[in-house]
Structure 1
Amino acid sequence: MAWLHQTRRSPRLVLVVVSVALLLDSMLLSVVVPIIPMFLYTELRTPLPCPDGPGLETVSSQFPSLRPNPQTSQPSLLPQPSRGAPILDTQSELTPWSSPPTDTAESSCLQDSLVLEEENVHLLLASKALVQLLISPFVGPLTNRIGYHIPMFTGFIIMFVSNIMFAFSGTYALLFFARSLQGIGSSFSSVAGLGMLASVYTDDEERGVAMGIALGGLAMGVLIGAPFGSVMYEFVGKSAPFLILAFLAVFDGVLQLCILQPSKISPGSVEGTPLLALLKDPYILISAGSLCLTNTALAILEPTLHLWMIETMYSPEWHVCMAFLPVGIFYLIGTNLFGVLANKMGRWLCSMLGMFIVGISLLCVPFATSIYGLIGPNGGLGFAIGMVDSSMMAIMGYLVDIRHASVYGSVYAIADVALCMGFAIGPSTGGALAQAVGFPCLMVLIGMVNILFAPLCFLLRNPAVREANVKHELDEVTLVLKPE
């Protein structure tokens, strides 16, 4: 018991708890991506009936051997290499050994059914970010009132329930609800977790290192989540990966009960700055804008890159999955490396350079002619986003210290909303913009937006300190030096 009492005072164990929570959250985020589309396409497909013709299943079964031919540009139907549904490819034609549909209405109905399924999948996957975007502004002020421990534990409970629902849900509505529930749990875990770290690591340099490590846990979850989910779904089944994550969530909950002390990591008697007052702070807006734009770049790339690779490189499905591997690896390196280096170089400089590198990486993506040509741009993108995330998360805590009350729930709610806006805007607009202006032009547009925004980070070099905070610090120093 004495050992437990001593360990509860350790900020490092708080860092472990927060890192594990972010790891599990990001693993669930990415585990769902390869599993749910396959499950919906193969197990829950409800084809639209064609007028005076067969349904989707019948039409699909009549033409099982459609393959791309890179020599022409006539449309064809490509089946997924495993258990997925066919997708439409505009850069290929029917091979001589297959017969095209003779009924235009049947072909049109098939395409409409596939488009409807694709939209439903995107809506389900995007529901997490949209719900998190709506919930986070309420979680921040809540942590200011009741502390970080209870919201953090609430996030664990919600994430556990979400995993169980994913494991046993067999309808689109239940899966949609589970994904939305995950967004609520993520709001509680991320806002309370980051606020907790900022409160226990009062030294600015140590705080930056801790933020980098915690974001490294998030990156690790994204990196291993999709391969883990894909392999488990293929060889064990849909329920297995979610049950394993539910078990790990219980482990995280036990860690929270054993390690976290509400009295040690709650805001105490200090009244936090209102959320609207923080939103009026130009320095916080610049920080949130950097987080939003850099993550929007990745979020837009995710739904558009695979189609561009299929159309221009005729890439197999495993190439498409591997294309994002450098992003996760270099993001993990960037967050951990610049959690330490950013304080020495200047976090504003790391953020500005990161946004420049994001822009340049996006400009280079359309020049790739194979998957190997994407290693550099995607690796640079992940590395640069890691630079920005680790620097800006620490900067936002520092801005609250020097310009507002040192209560961090609301400011990290703003950071969480900025991230969620990026991942809500990307999937919802990426496909439409790519069709409207073309994938290369879209990369130029998003890249230039990041490059043009980057100089604003210079304003974070020496942010103005508010007089009230200076007076408060002087009062604290006077109390310490005053003889009894």
Structure 2
Amino acid sequence: MAGGGRLQAWRESRRLVLAIVAVALLLDNMLLTTVVPIIPEFLYDIRHPDAPLSGPVMQEVTTTLTPPCVCPGTLNITTNTNETNTAVNVTALEQMRHKELVEETVEVGMMFASKAFVQLLANPIVGPLTHKIGYSVPMFTGFIIMFLSTLIFAFGRSYGVLFMARALQGIGSSCSSVSGMGMLAERYPDDKERGNAMGIALGGLALGVLIGPPFGGVMYEFVGKSAPFLILSALALGDGLLQLLMLQPTVVRQESDPPSLKALVMDPYILIAAGAITFANMGIAMLEPSLPIWMMDTMGAGRWKQGVTFLPASISYLIGTNLFGPLGHRMGRWLAACIGLLIIGVCLICIPMATSINHLIVPNAGLGFAIGMVDSSMMPELGYLVDIRHSAVYGSVYAIGDIAFCLGFAVGPAMSGTLVNTIGFEWMLFGIAILNFLYAPLLCFLRAPPTKEEKKSLIVGEKSSVRYVSYQNEEEE
């Protein structure tokens, strides 16, 4: 009996719900970023099985060279000719490889963007659905879909299958993100506590982003492509069993009438907060498919370096989200997000100036920290805006927040390949930096947004003044 009571107390615990949401976001984002150092090289290697990207260029040209003549009188001439031919062939193959890598950026970008596009389409369905059936069932559905997606990644051996796995992950991510954030907003009604809880949950997201690239790069290098995804699927299974035991997914209907998705989308203050999330994440989203390929092309970076390059951004994002969960409430979330966007712009401008992996550490760290500032400030701000301007039902507003997040990760990778091909890697990042600089001042509008009562009184005041003017006109006539 005591054991049953303890289990019931665990099920009602807010901290347990927070832990489950944080783990779900961690695994989802581990899968999201584990593929970053794997996919570009894996796609190149399956198209060039005899000349893998990790192999030296010299090996590719040895078969094209004629053996040197053994005649003493012509030895030096033949050797020089062969050396010249070797240099020409190596240069030609390097140029061909460079051309193929730039073209592959488009394909990799489209694959990475597919998850965000599908998630973008699923969010407007999942958000209102949580109002009808509660948060636990969509949350568990998200686990099942993510588990399937991970297994497809493990055994997929073609671009089409991997593309499908990435797109399928978008549906699972939509279920997990919208339900998880809505669940936290409901369990933590106090605005300060909610900010802290969401900072911790986003810390789980950050940890997934932190672990993913180096985990994927190292496992692919030393064990094989399937290994990281099989480990992830085992971890996801553990999280699913925890949800089944503790959350006991059941249909729960909301008591209060939820605000319509249309009403929330038409709210300018919610749109400003959501827009900040989009622009903050667009830069890192553009870097995901293009930076590893740019590093291979300009620095000759290997797999582990491509994975490790995102490590400073992930560590600083983890610090930023945990720091600005509580600090954003104290200093003003609008100000934290405004400063964050400005820092993002500066860091994006610095990245193309790097000539080695060491030069990427500071701008990547600054980028991650600033994105953490924006995300951990604007996610709880969305819940706060719904509380004061609509009604305290959170599924739809976090669907909008997730749409904003996905919009950055859909537009970013989808456009990055085309932009790299047309204007170059440097100008692509300069352009998104300018957009961040231009958007930052809009966050001043979130300094003191009007509440529902103020909004109503304003409308009533406007109607009264209209009536008074029309009455005066009638009197004059």
Q: TM-score range by the shorter chain?
A: 0.7 to 0.9
2:58 is aligned to 65
2:222 is aligned to 235
Equivalence map 1:80-479=2 (5 Å): 96=84, 98=86, 100=88, 118-260=105-247, 266=252, 268-306=254-292, 308-309=294-295, 318-467=304-453
Is 1:7 aligned with 2:19?
A: no
- Provide the alpha-carbon RMSD of the alignment: 3.2
Structure 2 residue identity aligned to 1:150: V
Per the normalisation by structure 2, the TM-score is 0.82
Structure 1 residue identity aligned to 2:126: V
**Relative CO higher for 1 or 2, CA cutoff 8 Å, sep ≥ 6?**
2
CA-to-partner distance for each residue in 1:92-111, whole Å, 9 max, x for gaps? xx985725459x9x999988
Structure 2 residue identity aligned to 1:457: L
The verdict on how the C-alpha distance between 1:415 and 1:197 changes in structure 2, with shifts beyond 3 A counting, is same
Q: Are the aligned partners of 1:402 and 1:469 in contact in 2 as well (CA < 8 Å)?
A: no
SS at match of 1:98: helix
Shift of 1:59: 12
Instruction: Say how many residue pairs are matched.
Output: 432
Of 22, 26, 30 in structure 2, the residue corresponding to residue 23 of structure 1 is 26
- The CA distance in 2 between the partners of 1:191 and 1:467, in whole Å, is 28
Shift of 1:408: 0.7
2:64 is aligned to none
SS at match of 1:271: coil
Q: Are the aligned partners of 1:4 and 1:258 in contact in 2 as well (CA < 8 Å)?
A: no
1:40 is aligned to 43
Q: Are the aligned partners of 2:218 and 2:303 in contact in 1 as well (CA < 8 Å)?
A: no
Q: Are the aligned partners of 1:212 and 1:339 in contact in 2 as well (CA < 8 Å)?
A: yes
The answer to which structure has the higher helix fraction is 2
- Segments of structure 2 that go 5 or more residues without pairing to the other structure are 61-81, 458-477
Structure 1 residue identity aligned to 2:43: L
Deviates more, 1:431-440 or 1:266-275: 431-440
- The CA distance in 2 between the partners of 1:248 and 1:384, in whole Å, is 29
- The CA distance in 2 between the partners of 1:234 and 1:286, in whole Å, is 43
- The CA distance in 2 between the partners of 1:295 and 1:238, in whole Å, is 27
CA-to-partner distance for each residue in 1:182-218, whole Å, 9 max, x for gaps? 1111110111111111110111001000111111101
Structure 2 residue identity aligned to 1:399: L
2:72 is aligned to none
Q: Are the aligned partners of 2:102 and 2:293 in contact in 1 as well (CA < 8 Å)?
A: no
CA-to-partner distance for each residue in 1:211-250, whole Å, 9 max, x for gaps? 1111110111111112222222333333322222112112
Q: Are the aligned partners of 1:323 and 1:374 in contact in 2 as well (CA < 8 Å)?
A: yes
Q: Are the aligned partners of 2:276 and 2:374 in contact in 1 as well (CA < 8 Å)?
A: yes
Structure 1 residue identity aligned to 2:194: R
Shift of 1:161: 1.3
Deviates more, 1:121-130 or 1:349-358: 121-130
- Segments of structure 1 that go 5 or more residues without pairing to the other structure are 48-55, 68-93, 472-484
Structure 2 residue identity aligned to 1:303: P
- The CA distance in 2 between the partners of 1:110 and 1:370, in whole Å, is 20
Structure 2 residue identity aligned to 1:11: R
- The CA distance in 1 between the partners of 2:222 and 2:260, in whole Å, is 50
Q: Are the aligned partners of 1:351 and 1:457 in contact in 2 as well (CA < 8 Å)?
A: yes
Q: Are the aligned partners of 2:319 and 2:372 in contact in 1 as well (CA < 8 Å)?
A: yes
Shift of 1:169: 2.9
